[in-house]
Structure 1
């Protein structure tokens, strides 16, 4: 049982990042069983925590080295690292979803077919540029406010990728998977609802303990964003796909960064 969870944790990093875990952990080169692939879902928030820790290391390192770098440049460095760590996987899902949503004309099958199309249309390019631009601007505002704050306050930024990946976990558990085969089927079949409650309660209590007002803003934003995105998926394609799951990560991160930039 321990080996299955250990393999699932490593597999979660393979699913969601480009961190070369296969060079570090030999078990990463082992073909996962459906049970292990399903359990990987349970460790998505941990992957988010590692990503968040890496992101805040950039401005903290620059501060420790006493380098005079503008907040806009720090935000650019953080955003580049963010995209690199995820390999652009979620941005790809966002691009495919944008093309499908705008080109599907409300038709479910046409929308699903467009998401399978590997080409990137103008709608996808526009959405990607706008999302990355807004992320950079929001990051600049957040870093400008908390760069002189105590180190523990940087946890506000860490919770952004954590909550985004928790919401994907929640989406997979509570929303039908559209396609009849693929990895999403394994994740859906093996999902464990008690883990969702564990992460939900743990994250909420920890955030509220650290900062009540800011946490209420962030958690409310996350809940509203999740509800709206889930509703859009159910209305258009009657469920979720890998592309819409990736898009939800990107959009949740954007919503939370904007909320932080206005609430700090």
Structure 2
């Protein structure tokens, strides 16, 4: 790659990550088929942006509202900012793994756009759980944990896509989604760079309190990776979304935990 094309490619990858993970307006940019697969190294940075937006909103509304109301508005804002992308993945995974008894059945349910009872319960637990956990955080720590959670949960697709293959053949069905197309395409350089950034930001924000969220993120990623591999032989886009959601909850739980 020439020095002249590197900045253009970097911008393309960043915009691809921003467009994929959020509903923020993105400038028009020439389409590149492999941009999404290369963009995963920017996922933690997008998490930083999302978390910072949530933290900024909470900072301004918290002094004027009951804590639980401020937390509710913050969670709703974060869902709107991401277009419910990760919530959709969590619901689909809950339905598929909860109701599927075989690999083929699980993959079939993952393609179904409808939400079943398992998915509905998972969404309720996720939305209510995040609201209650944010409320339980010490007021002075809310911003730090919102940003750290945004970064760490969006780090999880890097190791998942590096170590696991796609559960389906690429392009086997239009409903497989773009997320599944990054599986096995993350480079070791992207994994290392993303991991360094994802570790540094929580440490700067939370200092000694960052240890628990870092370990929780690694543990959740490792456990879900083992589970996906055992049940369907790899990952889909919904699996990425589910792990992102579970990790976000895990980070908030670390902050709310009373030692």
What is the aligned residue count? 248
**How much does 1:173 deviate?**
1.1
Deviations 1:179-233 (A, max 9, x none): 1114356423542211211222343245345544311111111111111111110
Paired residue secondary structure (1:166):
coil
Take 1:188 and 1:4, find their aligned partners in 2: how far apart are those partners?
20
1:137 corresponding residue in structure 2: 132
Mark the CA change 1:45 to 1:185 in structure 2 (over 3 Å): closer, same or farther.
same
Take 1:175 and 1:194, find their aligned partners in 2: how far apart are those partners?
16
2:22 corresponding residue in structure 1: 17
2:3 corresponding residue in structure 1: none
How big is the alpha-carbon RMSD for the aligned residues of Structure 1 and Structure 2?
A: 1.9
More helix, by proportion? 1
Take 1:223 and 1:263, find their aligned partners in 2: how far apart are those partners?
21
Paired residue secondary structure (2:156):
helix
Contact 2:134 2:252 in 1 (8 A): yes
The answer to whether residue 233 in structure 2 is matched with residue 244 in structure 1 is no
**How much does 1:256 deviate?**
1.0
Extract unaligned runs of 5+ from structure 2.
1-5, 172-177
The answer to whether residue 191 in structure 2 is matched with residue 196 in structure 1 is yes
Alignment of 1:1-150 (within 5 A): 1-21=6-26, 25-27=27-29, 30-34=30-34, 36-62=35-61, 67-105=63-101, 107-142=102-137, 145-147=138-140
After TM superposition, the score normalised by the length of structure 1 is: 0.87
Take 1:203 and 1:14, find their aligned partners in 2: how far apart are those partners?
20
**How much does 1:122 deviate?**
1.2
Mark the CA change 1:37 to 1:68 in structure 2 (over 3 Å): closer, same or farther.
closer
Contact 1:75 1:136 in 2 (8 A): yes
**How much does 1:31 deviate?**
2.3
Deviations 1:82-126 (A, max 9, x none): 100110111111111111111102x11110011011111111111
Take 1:168 and 1:50, find their aligned partners in 2: how far apart are those partners?
17
Extract unaligned runs of 5+ from structure 1.
none
**How much does 1:62 deviate?**
2.8
Take 2:19 and 2:123, find their aligned partners in 1: how far apart are those partners?
23
Mark the CA change 1:259 to 1:229 in structure 2 (over 3 Å): closer, same or farther.
same
After TM superposition, the score normalised by the length of structure 2 is: 0.89
Contact 1:214 1:263 in 2 (8 A): no
